[in-house]
């Protein structure tokens, strides 16, 4: 599903699940790219990006190590408990200790491995998207830039913790050419609650050192009729103190 939720000149490509533990960016051709990027070019670009994140061999290897250590640890724990009364009546059975150590080690390896895989996959996605942005930013007719958007959405309260979900989109900005080395990636943007509405007068004043001179005197709050004047006509306050 291709969406254009905010900027009419931007196309958002979401990630979809295509199999067990397999996620890819949607390869459906957006009609908004008609005449800008051909369908063949778009499919080739999406395939190159998907290939950078499609490898799951390391994840399967870590999962296999985790399963083996858990199974062996549980077996040693059970066997050690059964034979403890016969062979180790006065000391802690070593088989139980080994089983506990294996289960802890397997869980530790699995957690560290998943974090490492996620970090490497995100870096690969960034490099692949930057390569495509470099390619399409130099289009002679209608240039466009590609960037990776990372959004964190609140999914509810489960147990004793608030749960958040991280989603990734490829954003294609049409008619915009940028330096691929300065591509901006947006992280941890929490989606606002659509039911929350804030109303009331705006009581926030602009910063005192913005590029535009203050239209009111900060000393007596009198309206400045001449913004180029150096002193307040009412109280004589100097506008060029700093």
User: What is the pLDDT averaged over residues 87-95?
Assistant: 73
Query: In this structure, are residues 69 and 104 in contact, taking their beta carbons and an 8 Å threshold?
Result: no
Residue written as token pair 């985790």: 66
Q: How confident is the model at residue 108 (pLDDT cuts 50, 70, 90)?
A: very high
Is 228 inside any structural domain? no
Judged by DSSP in three states, 228 sits in coil
Rounded to two decimals, what is the model's pTM?
A: 0.56
CA distance 169 to 191: 14
Reported as a single tens digit per residue, the pLDDT across 208-219 is 444 445 666 777
Q: What is the pLDDT of residue 21?
A: 65
Q: What is the pLDDT of residue 129?
A: 92
Q: What is the pLDDT of residue 43?
A: 92
Reported as a single tens digit per residue, the pLDDT across 19-29 is 776 788 988 99
Residue written as token pair 């103190």: 241
Is 231 inside any structural domain? no
Confidence check: pLDDT of 207 > 80: no
Q: How confident is the model at residue 33 (pLDDT cuts 50, 70, 90)?
A: confident
User: What is the pLDDT averaged over residues 32-40?
Assistant: 87
CA distance 128 to 49: 5
Q: What is the pLDDT of residue 221?
A: 65
Is 13 inside any structural domain? yes
CA distance 78 to 69: 14
Q: What is the pLDDT of residue 72?
A: 92
Look up the domain containing 139 and give its range.
Answer: 1-199
CA distance 196 to 198: 7
For the beta carbon of residue 9, count every other beta carbon within 10 angstroms. Answer: 13
Is 123 inside any structural domain? yes
Rounded percentage of the chain residues whose pLDDT exceeds 90:
15
27: nearest Cα among 48, 42, 12, 10:
42
Judged by DSSP in three states, 113 sits in helix
Query: Looking at the 3D structure of the chain, how many domains does it have?
Result: 1
170: nearest Cα among 4, 6, 11:
11
Residues in the chain: 242
Query: In this structure, are residues 163 and 155 in contact, taking their beta carbons and an 8 Å threshold?
Result: yes
Is 206 inside any structural domain? no
Is 207 inside any structural domain? no
Is 232 inside any structural domain? no
Confidence check: pLDDT of 67 > 90: yes
Q: How would DSSP label each residue in 172-218?
A: EEET----GGG---EEEEEPPPTT----S---PPPPTTSSS--SB-T
Q: What is the pLDDT of residue 54?
A: 74
Which of 13-17, 60-64, 82-86, 130-134 is the least confident region? Answer: 82-86
Reported as a single tens digit per residue, the pLDDT across 144-192 is 889 988 887 777 766 677 777 778 889 998 876 554 444 444 444 444 4
Query: In this structure, are residues 143 and 177 in contact, taking their beta carbons and an 8 Å threshold?
Result: yes
Q: What is the pLDDT of residue 70?
A: 92
User: What is the pLDDT averaged over residues 99-107?
Assistant: 91
CA distance 10 to 35: 15
CA distance 57 to 35: 38
Rounded percentage of the chain residues whose pLDDT exceeds 70:
68
Q: What is the pLDDT of residue 42?
A: 92
Is 20 inside any structural domain? yes
């Amino acid at each position: 599903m291709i969406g254009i939720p905010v900027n009419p000149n931007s196309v958002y490509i979401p990630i979809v699940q295509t199999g067990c533990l397999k996620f890819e960016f949607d390869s459906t051709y957006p009609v908004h790219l008609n005449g800008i990027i051909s369908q063949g070019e778009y499919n080739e670009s999406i395939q190159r990006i998907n290939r950078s994140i499609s490898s799951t061999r390391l994840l399967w290897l870590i999962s296999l190590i985790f399963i083996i250590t858990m199974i062996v640890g549980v077996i040693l724990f059970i066997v050690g408990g059964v034979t403890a009364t016969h062979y180790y009546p006065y000391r802690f059975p070593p088989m139980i200790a080994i089983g506990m150590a294996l289960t802890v080690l397997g869980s530790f390896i699995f957690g560290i491995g998943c974090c490492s895989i996620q970090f490497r996959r995100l870096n690969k996605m960034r490099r692949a998207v930057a390569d495509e942005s470099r390619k399409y930013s130099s289009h002679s007719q209608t240039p466009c830039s590609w960037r990776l958007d990372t959004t964190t959405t609140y999914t509810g309260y489960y147990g004793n913790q608030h749960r958040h979900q991280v989603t990734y989109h490829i954003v294609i900005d049409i008619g915009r050419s940028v330096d691929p080395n300065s591509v901006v990636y947006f992280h941890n943007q929490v989606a606002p609650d659509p039911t929350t509405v804030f109303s009331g007068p705006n009581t926030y004043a602009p910063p005192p050192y913005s590029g535009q001179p203050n239209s009111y005197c900060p000393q007596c709050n009198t309206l400045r009729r001449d913004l180029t004047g150096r002193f307040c006509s009412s109280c004589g306050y100097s506008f060029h103190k700093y």
